[in-house]
Amino acid sequence: AQSVAQPEDQVNVAEGNPLTVKCTYSVSGNPYLFWYVQYPNRGLQFLLKYITGDNLVKGSYGFEAEFNKSQTSFHLKKPSALVSDSALYFCAVSHASGGSYIPTFGRGTSLIVHP
């Protein structure tokens, strides 16, 4: 069975400090990993994804994520947090089931950036 874990319900960080939102996964075969962001009362928006190649993936709004195969992790990072980064962040993994595309999402991590 494939699964995604986001071990922190909430992450608090001061503006200007680096931030990390954690994600670990379990999947058979090669993982396709994603991060999405949800601002209040909005739908989810794509941030970045890892398919293959360089383990450090750069995405929108200055975010990046590091794929670590040995630790089965895909943590989201940003060198300097902004108050406007406050949102709900979802990690997701894609896998194949009967030939169909079935993504699995984590439960989400609420990021709060304090001024």
Partner 1 sequence: NAGVTQTPKFQVLKTGQSMTLQCAQDMNHEYMSWYRQDPGMGLRLIHYSVGAGITDQGEVPNGYNVSRSTTEDFPLRLLSAAPSQTSVYFCASTQDRGLGNTIYFGEGSWLTVV
What is the contact surface with partner 1 in residues (CB under 8 A)?
A: 9, 32, 34, 36, 41-46, 49, 51, 90, 92, 94-96, 99-103, 105-108
Cβ 30 to partner 1 shortest distance, Å? 9
Cα gap 64→75, rounded to integer Å = 9
Nearest CA among 54, 75, 73 for reference residue 65: 75
Smaller CB separation from partner 1, 72 or 110: 110
Three-state DSSP at 83 gives: helix
Q: From the CB of 38, what's the least distance to partner 1, in Å?
A: 8
* Backbone phi and psi for residue 41, each to the nearest 5 degrees, phi listed first: 60, 30
User: 28 with 91: CB under 8 angstroms?
Assistant: no
Residue 17 Cβ vs partner 1, minimum distance, rounded to whole Å: 26
Nearer to partner 1, 14 or 96 (CB): 96
Q: Which amino acid is at 86?
A: S
Considering the complex, state which of residue 29 and residue 115 has its C-beta at the smaller distance from partner 1: 29
